[in-house]
Structure 1
């Protein structure tokens, strides 16, 4: 062990390297040309709206963080203040990753537009660098925080607080960002596109700026927080199970595995290059492939050095990575316009919005089959080769190259914003919009892949966290014939549906206010539709902001309160541990399937609309297009609010059970 102890500082050191690389990329983006005065002005609107929202959101969340910090410090039976400190550091780290990542993303959008005036490769380089800042902040802050806290406290159960802090911020960030962006998107689509017949990102549409702001707060900051808590949660669960299975070696291995993933991701970013005639997706896939191959080579040697008596652990790691990659490609098949499922939805649009919605729901439900089988295969392989610890390592393997995954995903909203700025800048040549549209189309595909990846990682991470909870709570098995367990299973199976009802209802209410405001401006601002007057963009931003802050509270609290109520409530009949274990199992089963269905239905509806806009089935402004827009509007809260937020719900309930409830049972 003595020699292996010397490897421990390398984990936080490589986390620091990730942050330094993020600083380098941020400098590269800042030095790029921001373009014309009009472009800078439009970008300023987007940046101001995004940062204003984030400041208000974090101010509201700060109250929650302080309350939980005090509760942890005062109520936990052991190591209370140490756990509370870890919680606070985790919350601050997650918030910092979102803040810095979005700050750079709102700089990168206009610079991507300007770079598109010269070449596709230049535009891709700026957009990808902006996304990579988010990716490197997520992994850097996650591993640096975990490594330092473990070196200080030397106890995985204390460091669990760090994961809980990250998960708490992530849920509020995902829900709040999702409500914001979809309220703006729905208002812009239903009134601007369907009723007024305006094109995408038309400056005459009052909700356009709010829509572009939403891309950042939902798909950059929110998505980054989502994968931050997945990344941290997978490592923490592996550390908790590893100390029971292999002692210090079991703690060290996931930290070093994560460190090698960071280095592989950094190297992979240098392979993302293209030319004018190439598909940008190939460049992004090459960078991802390079990162994955390098990581697997490094992981093979890490297992041999740190756990030489457990060579099978490498197969658990490999299985997790393969499952995550395949789930991403399966998601692409069910959501991309190049394939039959989405084309079938586009064809259904010729008979009206009802058939669009029916076909989309069917595609989403059917798309759960293969991903669930892949997750099952990864679980079985991991358990056979490494037991419960192997399942946790499979989650670590799936998430080790999170830096590259987030970079590719966050690239999408930057390219989307770049296209919006190009549309709102009349002096730019049409070729600029063509280039940004090409980048944005790839961004839609990478976003769908990223959502599938996040769902797959959520399933493995939540299962590993549940296993860690069972170990700490002293549960050897969960008997499904036990009536208390059955009740827990049913409650857990219901919670994802209840949570989705809350988040989708929030989007509906916020979107209704946005629709009314856009209609009001079209009606009252004379000359707006003629292009001779300017829309009141600020009012639309304010509507989305206030609705998101107000509506995110209840869904966020549900994830904290539900496991505590079940655990302590059933402890009155001496069944708290088993009932809570059943609740966690039930939530994973229903939550994973529901998340896949919502994400894929929403993505397919979105790309079916884009398939029609390319000239199929009548093209833009046709009856089929109007039907597809309505289907896309239904899908917006599915794929960008409720679906992605479910990933965090599952993991946060597990980590709350591990931190709050297990010590009392």
Structure 2
């Protein structure tokens, strides 16, 4: 099959993205790192982060080798797996890990330079932090498009079974990316929150010393954790979402337009082209971000919103041109499906900002609750987090319906053609939401860079004015991080829904490979590969009266809570060890609190590293095991129930946890700015407790859930051949 000329824009965009990422990295490296003390602190953080990542990759490598061997046996020994899957799985994991590595390397070099730039101006600090975050964003989209382009070219040459086989095979490299992302998110989240909670409980509450005070032995581990969790973890997470949305949509396009020949190829490359154009528009948006000295929180938020919103508007306009030039059937409706996804992303981001920024009432009320104690802070935060789920859930629901109807010409009849085209519309809406990931991920990766810059400024004793600037950048980072998490969770919901439809296609291919026959709705025996989705649902009795579907849905809902419980307890156990170590050093090392003694930062780094490596294994392997066990016991219908239950409960729970944690964090920041008594007051201690509870909510369990719901879908897709045998 001849590859269209338009497709070559995809590898070109990937090269441009990687080139710009390198350019931003070089520009950041040319900036001065600051005083010898600033350089020393940044060096401690950099070495700790790289040491942790090295250990994590060793553990992940063992898991990947074992899984690759299993896939190889399934493919070459039993013939129930596509022979390309082991290789696709490994490349997905490799590129996901590589994206996280480059992002974290950049962040650890950027923090001191951001603090040093903030000595001169707020705008200087903002530019270095944001463009360093852009290295993460552009690296993710660049490596993602490169991986997709290379696999499309290879399989187009070697796979004789057509585009449906090619796209479903490409989809399996998403499992490698998901597996790597989950280990990165869970391990990084446990690392950072063990250090953060330990530093806050002993340092700020018991010893009454400021955050990031060099006298606190856990501060270096805390700063390392910001990088391994919120940079490397988030990068790997969104790499998987980005690739998953493009590939699942391509697979759905291959099915929806299977009978139209050349149109089928255009439907497959359309999501790739939209993502490629999004790269160029993201770069344009990055250059729009700047601010003025003395800017308020609203001014800073406006600066970042300008870049992201302009990019979103331009990609919306560009989508009409892309789909029109491809001459895809109903190109106008599909364009509106893309806009639906973009609009949903913006709305979820704005709703998250409203519930987590201390510029608005929900977080201000949590700060005010600190006047009556930590219990009311926690109660108010939980209530705020629960209420904050309403807008994102309704928005995703409306986006699903609108994108479905726009794509199939507003046909509500569940006939095969309308259903396939509608599902393609949902997939392309997910692509639209993630099309400007180059800049939206930059706003998220900016957060931990600004946080580390504030820590460096505090530990280097740069003065009140510099610390005020870095505090402003840090508070902005808390909001952008919360917004980024909401965006990641929303995109995960749409991507997981598209993956759900892709699972059905993978099962049909697995059945075709094993020679199975399906009885269609007309009572005819047909090859499984020729079955429509209604035929498939009828044959496997996928309906709400089937106990297998209901049991699967309950297990999926339970899996989200079980996963959160395991990761929360993991943080608790690791934090206990950290608290005991910090107390021991305050007790046994003379002169720490007076500033004459030197804390043992290395022991705290070692505690977080060891705890993260040990605690991340069980939750991560559980996420892989559950879909396999459900598939073997409950069959195809049970797996579909599992994925629906996991998606619905996981999405809502993730929004609640991310927003509650973000609101608690910024409520504390609001008090520290001088409100309700300021630092050291009763309200301050109460909001510190709320922030400590919220830390694993927003940085460990909540963000990991969006990977969980996608990973369960990916595992189900890769293990479809095994499930078919047991069904």
**TM bucket normalised to smaller:** over 0.9
**Structure 2 residue 495 is matched with structure 1 residue 461:** yes
Whole-angstrom distance in 2 between the partners of 1:71 and 1:189: 44
2:87 counterpart residue number = 85
Q: How does 1:14-53 map to 2 (within 5 A)?
A: 14-53=13-52
Are 1:564 and 1:661, in contact at CA under 8 Å, matched by a contact in 2? no
- What secondary structure, in the 3-state scheme, does the structure 1 residue paired with 2:719 have? helix
Q: Contact 1:472–1:663 (CA<8 Å) still a contact in 2?
A: no
- The answer as to 2:644 corresponding to 1:585 is yes
Query: Which of the numbers 258, 270, 287 marks the counterpart of 2:275?
Result: 258
Which one of 354, 368, 377 corresponds to residue 375 of structure 2?
Answer: 354
Q: After TM superposition, give the deviation of residue 161 of structure 1 in Å.
A: 2.2
Displacement of 1:469 in angstroms is: 0.8
- Residue 590 of structure 2 corresponds to residue 526 of structure 1: yes
For 2:682 and 2:190, how far apart are their aligned partners in 1? 28
| Cα distance in 2 between the residues matched to 1:402 and 1:368 | 23
Is 1:114 the counterpart of 2:116 in the alignment?
yes
Structure 2 residue matching 1:331: 3-state secondary structure: helix
Q: Which deviates more from structure 2 when the two are superposed, residues 428-437 or residues 592-601?
A: 428-437
How far residue 79 of structure 1 moved from its aligned partner, in angstroms, is: 6.0
Which residue does 1:573 correspond to in 2? none
Is 2:710 aligned against 1:651? Answer: yes
Partner Cα separation in structure 1 for residue 392 and residue 141 of structure 2: 25
Secondary structure, in 3 states, of the residue corresponding to 1:620? coil
Alpha-carbon shift at residue 663 of structure 1 (Å): 6.4
Residue 284 (structure 1) aligns with: 304
1:420-431 map, 5 Å: 420-426=455-461, 428-431=462-465
Find 2:617's aligned residue among 553, 561, 581: 553
Question: Partners in 2 of 1:267 and 1:72 — Cα distance?
Answer: 42
Q: Post-superposition shift, 1:623?
A: 1.9
SS in 2 for 1:309: coil
For residues 5-32 of structure 1, the C-alpha deviation after alignment (integer angstroms, 9 at most, x for no partner) is: 1222221221121111111111111111
Task: Give the C-alpha shift of residue 539 in structure 1.
Answer: 0.5
Deviation at 1:356, TM superposition (A): 1.5
1:628 aligns with 2:687: yes
Q: How does 1:301-450 map to 2 (within 5 A)?
A: 301-311=321-331, 312-386=333-407, 387-426=422-461, 428-450=462-484
Q: Which runs of 5+ in 2 are unaligned?
A: 157-165, 258-263, 408-421, 509-532
Maintained 8 Å contact 1:473/1:663? no
Shift of 1:188: 0.6
Shift of 1:282: 2.2
Cα distance in 1 between the residues matched to 2:237 and 2:589 = 40
8 Å contact from structure 2 (residues 475, 669) kept in 1:
no
CA distance, structure 2, for counterparts of residue 581 and residue 272 of structure 1? 43
- Is residue 112–residue 456 contact of structure 2 (8 Å, CA) maintained in 1? yes
Verify: 1:563 aligned to 2:584, yes or no: no
2: CA distance between counterparts of 1:626 and 1:133? 37
In 1: Cα distance, 2:363 partner to 2:554 partner: 33
Report which stretch shifted further, 98-107 or 288-297: 288-297
Please point out which of 182, 202, 205 is paired with 2:193.
182
Q: Say if 2:628 is the partner of 1:617.
A: no
The 2-side partners of 1:483 and 1:528 are apart by 62
RMSD: 1.4
Structure 1 runs not aligned, ≥5 long? 571-575
Question: How far apart, in 1, do the equivalents of 2:81 and 2:684 lie?
Answer: 59
Aligned partner of residue 81 in structure 1, secondary structure: coil
Is 1:239 matched up with 2:303? no
Deviation at 1:664, TM superposition (A): 4.3
Provide the rounded CA distance (Å) in 1 between the counterparts of 2:83 and 2:219: 46
1:207 corresponding residue in structure 2: 218
User: Paired residue for 2:512?
Assistant: none
Contact 2:80 2:721 in 1 (8 A): no
User: In structure 2, which of residues 273, 281, 285 is the aligned counterpart of residue 268 of structure 1?
Assistant: 285
Q: Is the 8 A contact 2:81 2:721 kept in 1?
A: no
**Aligned with 2:271: secondary structure?**
helix
Q: For 1:176 and 1:111, how far apart are their aligned partners in 2? A: 27
Contact 2:636–2:723 (CA under 8 A) maintained in structure 1: no
Contact 1:612–1:624, Cα closer than 8 Å, also in 2:
yes
Partners of 1:274 and 1:257 in 2: how far apart? Answer: 30
Contact 1:83 1:160 in 2 (8 A): no
- The residue that corresponds to 2:513 in the other structure is none
- Partners of 1:577 and 1:662 within 8 A in 2: no
Distance, in Å, in 2 between the alignment partners of 1:568 and 1:471 is: 18
Partner of 1:229: 240
Deviation string, structure 1 residues 65-106 (Cα, Å, up to 9, x no partner): 111111112203366331111111111101100111110111
Question: Counterpart of 1:577 in 2: which secondary structure?
Answer: helix
Are 2:664 and 1:605 equivalent residues in the alignment? yes
What's the counterpart of residue 557 of structure 2? 493
1:248 is matched with: 265
Distance 1:268 1:339 in 2: 26
Assess if the C-alpha contact under 8 Å between 1:568 and 1:661 holds in 2: no
Does structure 1 conserve the Cα–Cα contact (< 8 Å) formed by 2:630 and 2:638?
A: yes
Between the aligned partners of 2:346 and 2:25, the Cα distance in structure 1 is 28
Following TM superposition, by how much is the alpha carbon of 1:180 offset from its aligned partner in structure 2, in angstroms? 0.4
- Measure the CA separation in 2 of the matches of 1:104 and 1:113: 15
Count of residues in Structure 1 that have an aligned counterpart in Structure 2: 658
**Alpha-carbon separation, structure 2, partners of 1:369 and 1:411:** 27
Q: C-alpha distance in 1, partners of 2:327/2:49?
A: 46
In the TM superposition, residue 230 of structure 1 has moved relative to its aligned partner by: 0.7
Bigger radius of gyration: 2
1:297 equivalent in structure 2: 317
Aligned counterpart in structure 1 of residue 580 of structure 2, from 507, 516, 519 = 516
- Quote the Cα distance in structure 2 between the aligned partners of 1:441 and 1:636: 15
Q: What displacement does 1:472 show? A: 2.9
SS at match of 1:373: helix
Deviations along 1:296-351, whole A, 9 cap, x unmatched? 12211111122432221111110011001100110111111122211222222222
Give the TM-score, by structure 2 length. Answer: 0.89
Distance 2:681 2:353 in 1: 27
Aligned mates of 2:222, 2:479 — CA distance in 1? 19
Q: Which moved more, 1:303-312 or 1:27-36?
A: 303-312
Mean Cα deviation higher: 57-66 or 341-350? 341-350
After superposition, give the CA deviation of every residue in 1:497-527 in whole Å (9 maximum; x if it has no partner): 0000110010000000000000001000110
C-alpha contact 2:168 2:251 (8 A) present in aligned 1: yes
2:51 and 2:618 mapped to 1: Cα distance?
Answer: 22
Measured in 2, the distance between the counterparts of 1:13 and 1:584 equals 36
| TM-score normalized with structure 1 length | 0.97
